[in-house]
C-alpha cells in the first residue's frame, strides 16, 4: 500500500528481512523458526520495526486512522492492475488492459486458529480428492504469498476433526453449485469455520482434461461444456516429456519439494529472473531457482523450463501460475539454501554454483543433480511410439474421449504441415486429415541433397540446370511415394518449390570450397555466382512462383515427380489425392502460366504411365495483390490456401524474421494486442482474407479454402478462420490436437 517493497538489487521482501533478523536475534541457534515462535513481546518489537521501515522507505508514518488504511488498500488494488506482473500475465492470457480491476470491501474475521486454501479436486492431476493446505495461526495471505510452507489439509482431520468434516461438505456443495473444480480460501476462528472466497481453480492441462471428462461421467456437465472448458493450448502439456525410468534410477536425488507443476525439466540453474530470460534468449535450457515463489518472477518462469523454490506451497500464486502455463514447478524444498549474493545453491554440504545442471520432476517433487534423460508423455507413448497400451493409460483415455467429443462438434477440417513421412504418420496419429502444406524445399535440407539443390540454383545455363534437375527428379519421386503411402488415402497439398535463395546458398568459404569440389568447378566461380545471386531482400526476391516462371523446367521436374509417384501408388490400388499448389502468386498470368504447365505435365505422365489419377491445382494466397484479384486467380485455381505468414509479412511490410527486435516493445506500449505472426491480425490481414474469399467464391462457388501459415495452430486465429467459413486449417503435427479442440470450441462459441 505504501510502496515499501523489494527494490532493484534486493532479493527479499524488506518486511521478511525484518522478520528474519528478529528471529535470528531471538533464536540464534535454531535453524527453522516459525512465525508462531514469536511471542507477544516479540510481535510488539516487530510492529515497531515495521513502522520504522515504512517511515524510512516511504518518508511517511504508518497511518493509524482506519479509513486512511482502508482507502490506501483500495487504491493499492486499483494500482496493482498496472504492476509489472499483472502486465506480463495479461499479455500471456490476452486480457485487454482497458478492462481494469474491481475491489471488494468486506468484513473479515481474524482467523485466529488458522487459514488455508483448498481445491475440490487435485489441480495437478485432476483426481477427485480433497486437496489443500493450511497454516495454523496465520492469515490467508501467508498461504497464497508463498513465503511460508503450509501443512497438507489432510492433517486437519486429526487436528480439527469437525472443521475437516465441514470442509468436506463445503467441497461438495461448491461443486454442485458451480459445476466446476473450485479453489477456495477458508479461515478458522476459535473452532468456527469461515469461507473467504471461491473461484474456478486453475489447473494443469492433464487435470483440465481429466476433470472435464469425469464431470461428464458424473453427469455434472454436458459433453459440449466439457469441450468448451479445456483451454485448447493446455493440451500441449499432455504431450510434454517425463523423466526416463532408467535415467531416474541411476541418478542422484539431492532433495525433495512439493510437486507443484507436473512434467520433467532439466536445465542450467539461475537465480535471477532477468538472467534466466537472457540465458534462454541465448539458447540455453534453464531452471529458475528461487528461495520463495514470488509472483514477480513470472518473466523468469515463462522463459525457464521449470521453477524450483525452497519455500512456498503448491497453492502459492506462483505455483498456480506455473501450472496454468504448463511449466514444471517444484516448490517448498526446504533443504535448499540459496545465496543470491554469491550465486550459489547449497543442499546439505553440496554446493551448486549458478550455471550448474539440475533436473526437477514436478509430478513427484524430486530434485536431481545433473541432467536426466526425459521420456515421452503417456499420450505420445500410446499414439506415436506404441510402447504403452491405450487401456493402461487413463490419461490417454481421457484425452481420446475429449478429442472424440471435439470431433463431433467441429466443422473445420484439421490438416498438417509436413514434409517427411514420419511427420505425416505422427500427424495422422494425432488426428490430422491430410497434408495442408508440404514445403518441398524442406525435402532438400539434409545431407547430400542440399548440394544438388545448390547445383540447380547456381546453374548458369539451361543444360547445367537440367543436369541438376535430372538428379533431383528420382529423389523427389521417391519422397512423394513414401508420403502418399504414409497418408493412407488422405489428400496431400504439395507446394512447388519456394526457396528464399539465401536459405540455400553456400555462404561460408568452407561451404563454397566443398561445393566447388563436388561440382568440379573453381571456388572462384562458385563465389562469383553466390555474389551474383545475392539479394538485398530475399523474402521479397526471386522466390515462390517467380522461380518456376523464369525456369519452367523446375516446375516441370517437380510436377513430374509428384505425378509419377501418384501413378505408381495408384497402380498399387491405393488412393492418392495430390493437390498441387503454386506459391507467392501476385498476377493472373503467372498463375495461368504455372497451372498450364502442371496440366500439360499431368497429361504427359498419364499417357506415359497409362494410369489415370485425379488431382487438383491451386495457389497460395500470401500477397495482398493476390487477395485483391482473387476472382481472376480463381479462374485457374481450384483451391486457395492462405499463407498467413507471408500475408502478414507483406501486408504489414514487417519482416517475419526481423520483427522480434521491436514487436515486444510494441506490445509493451499496447500498440498491438499480440504478435501478429502468432495470432492473426483480424482487422488488417483478416480484411484482405475476407476480400479474397468473397472474390474467389464469386468466380468459383465451391472453391476450397484453407490456411497453412503458423496461425493454423493458434486457437484465437482458428476461431476467426471458422467464422470466415474456411474448410480447413493446417498446422504442425504436435499442434493437431490443439487445433481440433480449438475448431470445436469455435463451432460451439
Residue pair 442/494 in contact (Cβ under 8 Å)? The answer is no
Does 277 help bind ligand PEP (rule: CB under 6 A)? Answer: no
CB of 435 to ligand PEP, least distance (A): 12
Does 643 help bind ligand PEP (rule: CB under 6 A)? Answer: yes
Question: Is 12 in the active site?
Answer: no
Residue pair 579/615 in contact (Cβ under 8 Å)? The answer is yes
Q: Which of 317, 502, 588, 599 is catalytic?
A: 317
User: By rule CB under 6 A, what count of residues binds ligand PEP?
Assistant: 10
Q: Which of Mg ion, ligand PEP, none does 439 bind, CB closer than 5 to 8 A by kind?
A: ligand PEP
Distance CA(260)–CA(327), nearest Å, equals: 9
Of 38 and 736, which CB lies nearer to ligand PEP in the complex structure? 736
Q: Which of 310, 400, 437, 634 binds ligand PEP (CB under 6 A)?
A: 437
Phi, psi of 310 (to 5 degrees): -85, -30
DSSP letter string over 530-561?
Answer: HHHH--S-GGGSS-THHHHHH-HHHHHHHHHH
Of 417 and 568, which CB lies nearer to ligand PEP in the complex structure? 417
Question: Is 317 in the active site?
Answer: yes
Only one of the segments 24-32, 217-225, 595-603, 640-648 lies at the binding site for ligand PEP (rule: CB under 6 A); that segment is 640-648
Distance CA(181)–CA(634), nearest Å, equals: 50
Q: Which of ligand PEP, Mg ion, none does 427 bind, CB closer than 5 to 8 A by kind?
A: none
**Contacts of ligand PEP in 678-737 (CB under 6 A):** 708-709
Residue pair 619/580 in contact (Cβ under 8 Å)? The answer is no
- Helix axes of 40-58 and 14-26: crossing angle, nearest 10 degrees: 140
Q: Exposed, middle or buried by CB within 10 Å (0-12, 13-18, 19+), for 273?
A: buried
CB of 198 to ligand PEP, least distance (A): 44
Q: Which of ligand PEP, Mg ion, none does 708 bind, CB closer than 5 to 8 A by kind?
A: ligand PEP
Rg of the Cα trace of the chain? 30
Of 305 and 622, which CB lies nearer to ligand PEP in the complex structure? 622
Q: Which of 6, 224, 371, 439 binds ligand PEP (CB under 6 A)?
A: 439
Binding mask 518-557 for Mg ion (x = CB under 5 A): ----------------------------------------
Of 279 and 495, which CB lies nearer to ligand PEP in the complex structure? 495
Helices (H) and strands (E) in the chain, counts: 30, 26
How open is the CA angle 514-445-524, to the nearest 5 degrees?
Answer: 25
Q: Which of 331, 438, 627, 708 is catalytic?
A: 708
Judged by DSSP in three states, 162 sits in helix
Number of residues in the chain: 749
Distance CA(257)–CA(158), nearest Å, equals: 24
Does 288 help bind ligand PEP (rule: CB under 6 A)? Answer: no
For residue 104, give the nearest of 74, 80, 84 by alpha carbon.
Answer: 74
Find the helix or strand (DSSP H, E) in which 73 lies. Answer: helix 66-80
DSSP letter string over 329-351?
Answer: EEE--TTEEEETTTTEEEETTEE
Of 118 and 585, which CB lies nearer to ligand PEP in the complex structure? 585
Q: Which of ligand PEP, Mg ion, none does 595 bind, CB closer than 5 to 8 A by kind?
A: none
**Contacts of Mg ion in 637-696 (CB under 5 A):** 643, 646
Only one of the segments 77-85, 336-344, 387-395, 614-622 lies at the binding site for Mg ion (rule: CB under 5 A); that segment is 614-622
Q: Which of 13, 451, 646, 681 binds ligand PEP (CB under 6 A)?
A: 646
Does 622 help bind ligand PEP (rule: CB under 6 A)? Answer: yes
Catalytic residue annotation: 317, 708
Binding site for Mg ion (CB under 5 A): 622, 643, 646
Binding site for ligand PEP (CB under 6 A): 437, 439, 498, 622, 643-646, 708-709
Amino acid at each position: 500500500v505504501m510502496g515499501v517493497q523489494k527494490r532493484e538489487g534486493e532479493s527479499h521482501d524488506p518486511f521478511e528481512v525484518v522478520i528474519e533478523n528478529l528471529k535470528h536475534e531471538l533464536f540464534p541457534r535454531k535453524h527453522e523458526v516459525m512465525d508462531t515462535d514469536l511471542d507477544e513481546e516479540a510481535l510488539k518489537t516487530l510492529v515497531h520495526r515495521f513502522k520504522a521501515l515504512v517511515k524510512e522507505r516511504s518518508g511517511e508514518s504508518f497511518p493509524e486512522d482506519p479509513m486512511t488504511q482502508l482507502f490506501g488498500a483500495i487504491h493499492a488494488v486499483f494500482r496493482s492492475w498496472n504492476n509489472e506482473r499483472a502486465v506480463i500475465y495479461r499479455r500471456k492470457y490476452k486480457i485487454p488492459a482497458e478492462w481494469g480491476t474491481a475491489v471488494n470491501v468486506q468484513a473479515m474475521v481474524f482467523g485466529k486458529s488458522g487459514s488455508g486454501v483448498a481445491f475440490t479436486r487435485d489441480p495437478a492431476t485432476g483426481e477427485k480428492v480433497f486437496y489443500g493446505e493450511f497454516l495454523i495461526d496465520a492469515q490467508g495471505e501467508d498461504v497464497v504469498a508463498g513465503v511460508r510452507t503450509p501443512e497438507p489439509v489432510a492433517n486437519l482431520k486429526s487436528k480439527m476433526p469437525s472443521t475437516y468434516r465441514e470442509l468436506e461438505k463445503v467441497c461438495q456443495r461448491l461443486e454442485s453449485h458451480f459445476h466446476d473444480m473450485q479453489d477456495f480460501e477458508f479461515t478458522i476462528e476459535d473452532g468456527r469455520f469461515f469461507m473467504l472466497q471461491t473461484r474456478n481453480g486453475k489447473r494443469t492441462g492433464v487435470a483440465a482434461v481429466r476433470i472435464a471428462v469425469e464431470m461428464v461421467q458424473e453427469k455434472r456437465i454436458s459433453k459440449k461444456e466439457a469441450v468448451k472448458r479445456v483451454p485448447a493450448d493446455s493440451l500441449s502439456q499432455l504431450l510434454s516429456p517425463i523423466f526416463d525410468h532408467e535415467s531416474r534410477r541411476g541418478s542422484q536425488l539431492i532433495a525433495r519439494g512439493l510437486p507443484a507443476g507436473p512434467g520433467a525439466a532439466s536445465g542450467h540453474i539461475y537465480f535471477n529472473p532477468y538472467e534466466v530470460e537472457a540465458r534462454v534468449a541465448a539458447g540455453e535450457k534453464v531452471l529458475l531457482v528461487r528461495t520463495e515463489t514470488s509472483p514477480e518472477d513470472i518473466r523468469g518462469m515463462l522463459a525457464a523450463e521449470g521453477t524450483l523454490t525452497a519455500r512456498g506451497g503448491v497453492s502459492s500464486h506462483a505455483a498456480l501460475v506455473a501450472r496454468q502455463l504448463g511449466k514444471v514447478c517444484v516448490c517448498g524444498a526446504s533443504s535448499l539454501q540459496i545465496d543470491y549474493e554469491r550465486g550459489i545453491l547449497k543442499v546439505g554440504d553440496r554446493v551448486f554454483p549458478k550455471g550448474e545442471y539440475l533436473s526437477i520432476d514436478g509430478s513427484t517433487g524430486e530434485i536431481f543433480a545433473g541432467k536426466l534423460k526425459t521420456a515421452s508423455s503417456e499420450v505420445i507413448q500410446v499414439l506415436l511410439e506404441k510402447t504403452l497400451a491405450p487401456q493402461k493409460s487413463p490419461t490417454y483415455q481421457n484425452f481420446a474421449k475429449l478429442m472424440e467429443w471435439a470431433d463431433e462438434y467441429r466443422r473445420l477440417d484439421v490438416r498438417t504441415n509436413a514434409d517427411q513421412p514420419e511427420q505425416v504418420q505422427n500427424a495422422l496419429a494425432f488426428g490430422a486429415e491430410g497434408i495442408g502444406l508440404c514445403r518441398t524445399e524442406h525435402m532438400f535440407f539434409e545431407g547430400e541433397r542440399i548440394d544438388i539443390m545448390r547445383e540447380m540454383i547456381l546453374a548458369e545455363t539451361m543444360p547445367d540446370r537440367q543436369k541438376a534437375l535430372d538428379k533431383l527428379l528420382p529423389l523427389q519421386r521417391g519422397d512423394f511415394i513414401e508420403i502418399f503411402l504414409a497418408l493412407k488415402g488422405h489428400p496431400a497439398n504439395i507446394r512447388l518449390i519456394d526457396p528464399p535463395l539465401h536459405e540455400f546458398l553456400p555462404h561460408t568459404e568452407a561451404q563454397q570450397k566443398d561445393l566447388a569440389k563436388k561440382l568440379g568447378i573453381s571456388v572462384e566461380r562458385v563465389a562469383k555466382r553466390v555474389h551474383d545471386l545475392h539479394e538485398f531482400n530475399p523474402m521479397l526476391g526471386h522466390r515462390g512462383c517467380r522461380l518456376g516462371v523464369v525456369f519452367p523446367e523446375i516446375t516441370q521436374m517437380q510436377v513430374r515427380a509428384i505425378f509419377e509417384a501418384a501413378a505408381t501408388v495408384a497402380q498399387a490400388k491405393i488412393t492418392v489425392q495430390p493437390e498441387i499448389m503454386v506459391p507467392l502468386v501476385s498476377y493472373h498470368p503467372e498463375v495461368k502460366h504455372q497451372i498450364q504447365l502442371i496440366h500439360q505435365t499431368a497429361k504427359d505422365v498419364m499417357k506415359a504411365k497409362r494410369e489415370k489419377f485425379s488431382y487438383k491445382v491451386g495457389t497460395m494466397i500470401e500477397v495482398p495483390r493476390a487477395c485483391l484479384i482473387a476472382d481472376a486467380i480463381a479462374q485457374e485455381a481450384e483451391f486457395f490456401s492462405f499463407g498467413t505468414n507471408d500475408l502478414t509479412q507483406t501486408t504489414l511490410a514487417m519482416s517475419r524474421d526481423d520483427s522480434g527486435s521491436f514487436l515486444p516493445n510494441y506490445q509493451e506500449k499496447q500498440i498491438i494486442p499480440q504478435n501478429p505472426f502468432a495470432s492473426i491480425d483480424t482487422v488488417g490481414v483478416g480484411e484482405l482474407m475476407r476480400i479474397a474469399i468473397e472474390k474467389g467464391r464469386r468466380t468459383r462457388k465451391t472453391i476450397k479454402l484453407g490456411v497453412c501459415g503458423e496461425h493454423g495452430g493458434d486457437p484465437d486465429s482458428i476461431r476467426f478462420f471458422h467464422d470466415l467459413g474456411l474448410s480447413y486449417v493446417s498446422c504442425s503435427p504436435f499442434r493437431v490436437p490443439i487445433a481440433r479442440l480449438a475448431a470445436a470450441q469455435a463451432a460451439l462459441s
